[in-house]
Amino acid sequence: MPGPTPPIRSTPANPAEFPTLVLVGHGMVGQRFLEALADRGVTERARVVVLCEEPRPAYDRVRLTSYFSGTSPEGLSLAEPDFMARHGIELHLGDPAESVDREARTVTSRAGLVFAYDTLVLATGSYPFVPPVPGKDAAGCFVYRTIEDLLAIEEYAKARAATGAVVGGGLLGLEAAGALKGLGLDTHIVEFAPRLMPVQVDEGGGAALLRTIEGMGLTVHTGVGTQEVVSGDCGAVTGMKLSDGSALATDLVVFSAGVRPRDQLARDCGLEVGERGGVAVDERCATTDPAVYAIGECALAADGRVYGLVAPGYEMAETAADAIAERLAASADPGAPGNSGRAPSVFQGADTSTKLKLLGVDVASFGDAHGAAPGCLDVVYSDSRSGVYKKLVVGPDGALLGGVLVGDAEAYGMLRPLTGSVPPVAPEQLVLPAGLGAPAALGPSALPDEAVVCNCHNVTKGTIRAAVTDHSCATVPAVKKCTKAGTGCGSCVKVLTSLVNEELEASGVSVDKGLCGCFAQTRTELYEIVRVRGLTGYARVLDEHGREAARGGDGCEVCKPAVASIIASLAPTLGASGYVLDGEQASLQDTNDHFLANLQRNGSYSVVPRVPGGEITPEKLIVIGEVARDFGLYTKITGGQRIDLFGARVDQLPLIWARLVDAGFESGHAYGKALRTVKSCVGRTWCRYGVQDSVRMAIGLELRYRGLRSPHKLKSAVSGCARECAEARGKDFGVIATSSGWNLYVGGNGGADPRHADLLAQDLDDEELVRLIDRFLMFYIRTADRLERTSAWLERIEGGLDHVREVVVEDSLGLCAELERLMADHVAHYRDEWAATLEDPDRLRRFVSFVNAPGAPDPSVRFVPERDQMKPDLDILAGPALPVRTLEGNPA
């Protein structure tokens, strides 16, 4: 399918003056290399061509197995969709490099395209090693490396397999076994070594792992090799013969016996390769030909090792990009001083520490995990009952050299950076379970400044501290942005967070987490206070729980709407009025909630009737049109599949709504921190691709959650198939149809800080879906900060998505029944706010422009024509443009 991607950026007229860089391979390391080039401005100064064998751009191979838990191939993608276009990179998918002519400096692709290069970079990765056993090519034999491999395994498993066997019990083998188990196969693991994960863990760790994995119902065969794959009459796999003489019946075999560097291209063009494979490179990742570089798993690094992990590959990508950027700068301006005295970055080898979750088991290994150093000693904690095994390797001088953690790798974030130094407490305290072990005083503060906290980006504790002290980063997200720490695998975020807080406190910044000047509590704490004490009035909350000086006062514009929102969310449960403008509540609401409409820049308001799921009858469309025409309103279609009517004066709002309510419309809550819309595509009913009735579901969800007050607005969408036309993954909660039900995604956002929603659960039936959304929303409302969207909340709360899943899917806190009850209360007590307003003369009283001239329109709200409609006449308001003041309190 995809041919060459045309660059959008214009290239210089004379390509001869513009050096060409050809990258062979677009895997994880290849993509990182491109990003590194872009960061260094190389893509501005050179033509960059990428040849990629796979039919799709770089994706996260480490998370490959998550495809089986619902992540779409697109969800694994690593490059932002417009990355290539933005940087003018030519990406050729499905067209691998076939040969290199180093003399002529050209690369020829399989399709026959020839590219002249000034610099060539090989990032061809590895290929799975398949042991040369008879029958290895039978139908039903697979490897586990690419998305295409996964799709093929899935198809075969679903059609004709009940049992599957994985050859290889290493890291990838366990990943593959997890995938087969996820497909519902009776799964076997065959490992030649006497234990699982022989490279990473020791005997004790392997034993703990074995018990846990067998406990999950997988069958593990260690210490046996595969002698032959046996096939039946039709050529399909029926079983395996093992080296101990036994036979294993299986319908499918996945070979996962390690990987080998893909160095054929380099061999063919005469570059030096290692004895056991790998393109030989120096410390700057250059091969024996200075115009050719090799990075990642295909390279034999200067320390004589081939690295099969992504972090060292990333480091090589950065190193090569540095070297190439310098070369380019030097050739463009030979007189330039070059690197301005900075030592050139080099790759001399890397830490192969890893922390993984395999089949749900935490496994970590770091430093000298096998105790190879002379004179070293072990400290071991082992608890077979709970499948926990921890070993630390300590040198004769007491320095921590490495370790293995199985079943509980919580300490990894602290232990790995301590490697190489003498820990501040006795090593046995570091492996004992919490409560028995490390005294509370041993926090990240005990780490030396040079300890590498973020392994993915090689960020030291000192750098993180400097981000706070020298670069005035005052929050964890700011430090992440500044240093890149914590943006890789994320395993260090916990340590990072405590470091940042510690540093802030040390530098005298008191971290006041209070909502505002009136309350020392966070919004979450106030929610609990209101809920547990059953408070229904702001004044009581302020007088009894506010800061001393604020009690008895008027509160402020930050906490009033926040408390009003909490009371509104809990109103049915507290027995308070569900009408947000009753009694004292009226004085707490922002003007939008006060007039049940959206204030616009000239003091007029806009009106948005609810159009559930975006479905609307012609009659209702006509009513909207007539109302807009009769009141002279400007109309515009919103992004949420409804119609916004602009330019209403406050005194017109009840008149407009009387007509709308009459025609069957309800408030769309566009003015509230509440559910806005549930968008939908047209779904199975009309669309030839649709697999579920997305419109029905969207309407059902919108009607269920309408009027639900929350810490911030809530948006949703339902797509009828994986094409995702409703853009559900850009929503706070998004639903995507599958052939067997619905997938639920949460925490998506558009706007200034876009975020794709994460899969919370998959293949749900209608009832399960609604129940999960009920719980999710109520948990969010309960624990989010003021004006914190679900995306920011999900990023902030400890444990992130996993924690939310544990709470709302697995009910780890025993909260689900209560969350469901809260939502049931909400649904049972919903009333349309505009209907309730119109039928009560007292409530209508506020809708006047002037208290002393109720009939008079506001003369400052005037309009001038534009494009057949009207727009605010700003001339009569004419004032200088002045800056916006940001509200105090917690950052939104």
Partner 1 sequence: MTTALGRTAVPTGTGPARPAGSGARAAVRVELLVDRRWFGVCDADLLTPGRGVAALLPDGRQVAVFLDRGGIAYAIGNQDPFTGAYVLSRGLLGRTAEGLPFVASPLLKQRFDLRTGQCLDDEAVAVAAYATRVA
* Residues in touch with partner 1 (CB under 8 A): 517, 539, 549-550, 553-558, 560-561, 584, 586-588, 590-591, 594-595, 599, 601-603, 845, 849-853, 856, 858-861, 874, 877-880, 882-887
CA 875 to chain centre: 46
Between 303 and 554, CB nearer to partner 1: 554
Instruction: Check: CB of residue 236 under 8 Å from CB of residue 139.
Output: yes
Min CB(888)–partner 1 separation in Å: 10
The DSSP H or E segment spanning 316 is helix 310-332
The DSSP H or E segment spanning 384 is none
Distance separating alpha carbons of residues 789 and 748, to the nearest angstrom: 9
Min CB(852)–partner 1 separation in Å: 5
Min CB(835)–partner 1 separation in Å: 22
Distance separating alpha carbons of residues 297 and 274, to the nearest angstrom: 13
Closest CA to 303 of 332, 327, 281: 281
Min CB(651)–partner 1 separation in Å: 11
Between 449 and 512, CB nearer to partner 1: 512
CA 573 to chain centre: 34
Instruction: With both helix axes pointing from N to C terminus, report the angle between 538-545 and 559-574 in degrees, rounded to the nearest 10.
Output: 110
Min CB(654)–partner 1 separation in Å: 16
| Cα-based distances in Å from 481 to 9, 318, 450, 485, 758 | 27, 18, 20, 8, 21
Residue 608: Cβ within 10 Å count: 22
Min CB(658)–partner 1 separation in Å: 22
Q: Count the helices and strands in the chain (H runs, E runs).
A: 26, 38
Instruction: Check: CB of residue 689 under 8 Å from CB of residue 723.
Output: yes
Min CB(558)–partner 1 separation in Å: 8
Between 556 and 809, CB nearer to partner 1: 556
Min CB(540)–partner 1 separation in Å: 13
Residues in Cβ contact with 671 at an 8 Å cutoff, skipping those fewer than 6 apart: 592, 593, 595, 596, 597, 598, 608
Q: Three-state DSSP class for 126?
A: strand
Between 388 and 550, CB nearer to partner 1: 550
Between 29 and 836, CB nearer to partner 1: 836
Closest CA to 745 of 730, 762, 733: 733
Min CB(533)–partner 1 separation in Å: 21
Min CB(551)–partner 1 separation in Å: 11
Distance separating alpha carbons of residues 366 and 165, to the nearest angstrom: 29
Min CB(892)–partner 1 separation in Å: 12
| Cα-based distances in Å from 774 to 524, 818, 822, 825 | 18, 10, 9, 11
Between 502 and 858, CB nearer to partner 1: 858
Min CB(876)–partner 1 separation in Å: 8
Which pair of tokens denotes residue 779? 């948990």
Min CB(755)–partner 1 separation in Å: 26
Q: Three-state DSSP class for 712?
A: coil
Count of residues for the chain? 892
Backbone angles phi, psi at 367, to 5 degrees: 55, -140
Q: Three-state DSSP class for 388?
A: strand
Between 555 and 748, CB nearer to partner 1: 555
Min CB(553)–partner 1 separation in Å: 5
Residues in Cβ contact with 797 at an 8 Å cutoff, skipping those fewer than 6 apart: 783, 803, 804
Between 359 and 541, CB nearer to partner 1: 541
Distance separating alpha carbons of residues 593 and 670, to the nearest angstrom: 9
Distance separating alpha carbons of residues 154 and 167, to the nearest angstrom: 17
Min CB(781)–partner 1 separation in Å: 22
Q: Three-state DSSP class for 636?
A: strand
Between 560 and 684, CB nearer to partner 1: 560
Distance separating alpha carbons of residues 177 and 186, to the nearest angstrom: 10
What's the start-to-end Cα distance of the chain, in Å?
44
Distance separating alpha carbons of residues 669 and 836, to the nearest angstrom: 14
Min CB(546)–partner 1 separation in Å: 11
Between 6 and 859, CB nearer to partner 1: 859
Instruction: Check: CB of residue 298 under 8 Å from CB of residue 25.
Output: yes
Between 262 and 594, CB nearer to partner 1: 594
Instruction: Check: CB of residue 450 under 8 Å from CB of residue 471.
Output: no
Instruction: List 637's β-bridge partners, or say none.
Output: 643
Min CB(692)–partner 1 separation in Å: 42
Min CB(883)–partner 1 separation in Å: 8
Between 589 and 716, CB nearer to partner 1: 589
Between 212 and 592, CB nearer to partner 1: 592
Between 637 and 884, CB nearer to partner 1: 884
Between 378 and 858, CB nearer to partner 1: 858
Instruction: Check: CB of residue 620 under 8 Å from CB of residue 664.
Output: yes
Between 343 and 851, CB nearer to partner 1: 851
The DSSP code for 504 is H
Which pair of tokens denotes residue 855? 């009939």
Listed in order, strand segments (DSSP E) in 168-236 are 186-191, 219-222, 226-231
Q: Three-state DSSP class for 759?
A: strand
Between 676 and 843, CB nearer to partner 1: 843
Between 597 and 681, CB nearer to partner 1: 597
Instruction: Check: CB of residue 125 under 8 Å from CB of residue 262.
Output: yes
Instruction: Check: CB of residue 400 under 8 Å from CB of residue 421.
Output: yes
Backbone angles phi, psi at 668, to 5 degrees: -95, 0
